[in-house]
Amino acid sequence: MQNKRNKITDFRLSLVDDQTHKPILVTRFSRSSFLIAVISAVIIFCLSLFLIIAYTPVRTLIPGYPDARAKRAAIQNAIKIDSLEMLVARWELYSENMKRVLEGGEPVRIDSVIRKMAEENRTRLSDRQIKKQDSILRMNVGMEEDIRLSMSEVRNLHIEGMHFFCPLKGVISQGYDPSIHPFIDITAPANSMVYAVLDGTVISSGWSDDAGYTIQIQHVNDIISIYKHNQKLLKKVGDKVTAGDPIAIVGNTGTLTTGEHLHFELWYRGEAVDPTKYINF
């Protein structure tokens, strides 16, 4: 019983001047308060370390973290791969035409091959995926017929429920930032085709010193898509387009550009939105 009464529960930490023996700092604490203080210190240290790594350039010192040079190399490699694929396709076409000519047949028409390659690049879907999407489309159409959606209801469809077509097959070199970069830049090989993301009407098509050849398309539900720095425009003001229609050729025109890429903007009800949230690039 006496040992329990004399159990130590409180502690005191003192800093004393060695010469005068005058107390400098005296702190009293218990076991529980000491444990809480240690846990709090560990949590604060871990949180500070996380914030430093996540929001400062220190993260680039971590082995394996992709820095700006690695990202630039990845983009250049992706562009080289696309160029090599096009070169291989040309050599295959050349060898196939040589074979047909030597056998007395007619050579392959280049326009039909280009049209076929464009369709393959636009879809990139296997037969199983096409059948799956077709069944989903049929089911959606059936549901719409059952509940008899009116045209006004279709026009009021939110942007989250719409299906966008990818405007360009390439690599996003600079992402969306609402404060300093409210759009995205897509890098792709020269002469790549730019496509309309939705059905709509061309409301602007022309040249500006900063953006080069630019085209703007008005879509339903107050959606506007903008495509800048093109090499050539394929549509003029007033033209009707459907999702996936070629509208321009990617380029490097205008003063605010440093290479072949597409400056793409997506606006919804007067505000710029992040295209990567709605489009699978």
- The distance of Cα 85 from the centroid of its chain, to the nearest Å, equals 23
Six token digits for residue 92: 């295959």
Residue 271's DSSP bridge partners are 268
Backbone angles phi, psi at 280, to 5 degrees: -90, 100
Nearest to 194 by CA among 213, 179, 220: 213
Contacts of 199 (CB under 8 A, 6+ apart): 219, 220, 240, 241, 242, 243
Highest average pLDDT, of 59-68, 115-124, 130-139, 183-192, comes from 183-192
pLDDT tens digit string along 7-18?
667 778 888 887
Q: State how far the Cα of 210 lies from the Cα of 159, in Å rounded to an integer.
A: 29
Nearest to 75 by CA among 277, 272, 258: 258
pLDDT tier for residue 118 given thresholds of 50, 70 and 90: low
Q: State how far the Cα of 3 lies from the Cα of 6, in Å rounded to an integer.
A: 5
Please report the domains of the chain, with CATH numbers, ordered by start residue: 2-61 (no CATH), 66-108 (no CATH), 159-277 (2.70.70.10)
Query: In this structure, are strands 271-272 and 261-268 parallel, antiparallel, or unpaired?
Result: antiparallel
Residue with tokens 């037969």: 127
Q: What is the pTM of this model?
A: 0.49
Six token digits for residue 114: 């280009």
DSSP per-residue codes, 232-274: EE---TT-EE-TT-EEEEEB--SSS-SSSEEEEEEEETTEE--
pLDDT tens digit string along 19-29?
887 888 888 87
Q: Which pLDDT belongs to residue 83?
A: 74
Q: What stretches of the chain show up as alpha helix (H) in DSSP?
A: 2-5, 31-55, 68-102, 110-123, 127-147, 151-155
The CA-based diameter of the chain, rounded to the nearest angstrom, is 114
Identity of residue 141: V
